[in-house]
Amino acid sequence: MKKLLLFLALSTALHAAPEPVRFDFQSIQVPPNIDPQVGGVAVLPDGKVVTVFHRGEVMIYDPAAKTWSRFAEGLHEPLGILVESPSSFLIMQRPELTRVKDTNGDGVADEYETVFDDFGISGNYHEFAFGPVKDKDGSLYIALNLASQFAGVRPEIRGTFTDIGELDRKGMTQDKEWSKRSEKAGRMYSRVNWRGWVLKLSPDGKQMEPFASGFRSPDGIGFDADGNLLVTDNEGDWRGTSPLYIAKAGGFYGNPASLVWRKGWDKGDPLKVPLEELQKMRTMETGRFPQGFLANSPTEPAIFPKSWGPYAGQVVLGEMNQNRMVRYLPDDVAGFRQSTLIPMFDDTELGSGNHRVAFGPDGAMWVGKTHLSWAGAEGLVKVTPKDAEKIFTVVSCHVVKAAKGQEMHIRVSQPIGAQLPKIAVERYDYLYHRDYGSDQVGKAEVPVGNAIVSADGLEITLPMEMKEGFIHQVDLTPLVSKTGSPLEGKLLYYQATKLP
């Protein structure tokens, strides 16, 4: 009898616990005979979705009618789109920023205009181009990839070639002996102008300002709600793990190859500049994505609209290799904006390949997928939250000085359950060096003092002694809300670039 009562009690408790709030994922059927990898997504005021595909088609999807129409074609590996009007789009092709425009109102582009193409192309397969994004003053920003040592340059190039480096123009040219010389090129290189830079353009594209350098593969570029230009980069040489930066005019963000194009550069081959000197020059990371744990290839940032409840105004970032996306929560410490990065959509139907992100007027999130011959996926997915206001998740994370060490203040969207579980914290770093990636170094458990929950149940104060420069990984897996809901986004990755 006692066993029966215990079973009934457990059964009642299980049935009483609310179902975790889920998201709705709808996979959109891509038109036939089109490579379904997505290089850009944007949503028009009427809710129609402009999708730019890998082989150069610009297609418009009507969610109401569930139909596609072709707006433009023939573009060269487009990797970004910005809507100017329902009949005019700016698209970042590999060779240029292009305006495609429908001038006669028939729904098909009849005008292709070069807006900007004053950057170098060596013919290397890795010279992608990303953007554009627009600031509040109308200026445009684009980002340019470095070239890869797995291929040389072509005999024909566009732009200016620099001889700064171990190999001259002939030595850099691709031929059957390239593999024997490739290491001398540097793992990633910038031998034609502005590779590894973010460029700022006037609204009409006629004027260009070299804005920021030191990037490797800046596939994600976009603004947060405060007008900061966010740029994600990918793990590789001079990238211990994938970083997130706030890019500012004149900033250098770590990969030295692009420094040859800095005005007045007189230090010779930047790959031979001492590590200590580069370390002093560079702007540190706003956030880092632990490789293989949080993200492998972070991509485009976008801002959640009001309809997403506790996420409203925050930034979400795509991730190509894992079945998730990532949220960004800023924290200003000692004059530097660093952040907490949090996994999102874990254990859902989202899938991998999450490359481009845009929100519609109804609040729906549209995710374009790609793999570009690496890990990832393909297609277009629509994501909508269910009962967004009921989602239990972290909404902010701030670090302040304490009598001994620091305190981390974690605020959540719903009151915490009466029993606060033990919270585990560990820290680790990644090396800044010319090698490809880095193991976690300096890994250690962080002793946590007695956690305190605020009277309203919405904030946890965690006393701990943090270490400057390290990622602090906070495990909130056991945390549940007062109503029994599990936390959405269970691990926090706090980048302590500075400490108060």
The CATH number linked to 217 is 2.120.10.30
Q: How far apart are CA 328 and CA 387, in angstroms?
A: 22
Angle at 279 between CA 425 and CA 468, to 5 degrees: 25
6 inside domain = no
294 inside domain = yes
pLDDT at 5 over 70: no
Range of the domain at 450: 394-495
Taking alpha carbons only, the member of 371, 493, 366, 368 closest to residue 429 is 493
Angle at 47 between CA 41 and CA 50, to 5 degrees: 25
Q: What is the pLDDT of residues 120-133, one digit of tens each?
A: 999 999 999 999 99
β-pair partners for 329: 340
Residue % of the chain over a pLDDT of 70: 96
Neighbours of 319 (CB within 10 A): 29
Let me know whether 362 and 442 are in one domain: no
Q: What is the model's pTM?
A: 0.94
pLDDT at 3 over 60: no
Let me know whether 385 and 488 are in one domain: no
Q: What is the pLDDT of residues 89-108, one digit of tens each?
A: 999 999 999 999 999 999 99
326 inside domain = yes
Let me know whether 352 and 447 are in one domain: no
Q: How far apart are CA 365 and CA 286, in angstroms?
A: 25
Let me know whether 425 and 349 are in one domain: no
Q: What is the pLDDT of residues 416-459, one digit of tens each?
A: 987 888 999 999 999 999 999 999 999 999 999 999 999 999 99
Domain end position, chosen among 358, 390, 422: 390
pLDDT at 413 over 90: yes
Domain end position, chosen among 375, 390, 405: 390
pLDDT at 347 over 70: yes
Q: What pLDDT is recorded for position 421? A: 87
Domain end position, chosen among 390, 405, 436: 390
Q: What pLDDT is recorded for position 373? A: 76
3 inside domain = no
Q: What is the pLDDT of residues 171-228, one digit of tens each?
A: 999 999 999 999 999 999 999 999 999 999 999 999 999 999 999 999 999 999 999 9
| Structural domains in the chain (count) | 2
Let me know whether 408 and 355 are in one domain: no
Let me know whether 255 and 314 are in one domain: yes
Taking alpha carbons only, the member of 449, 490, 98 closest to residue 293 is 490
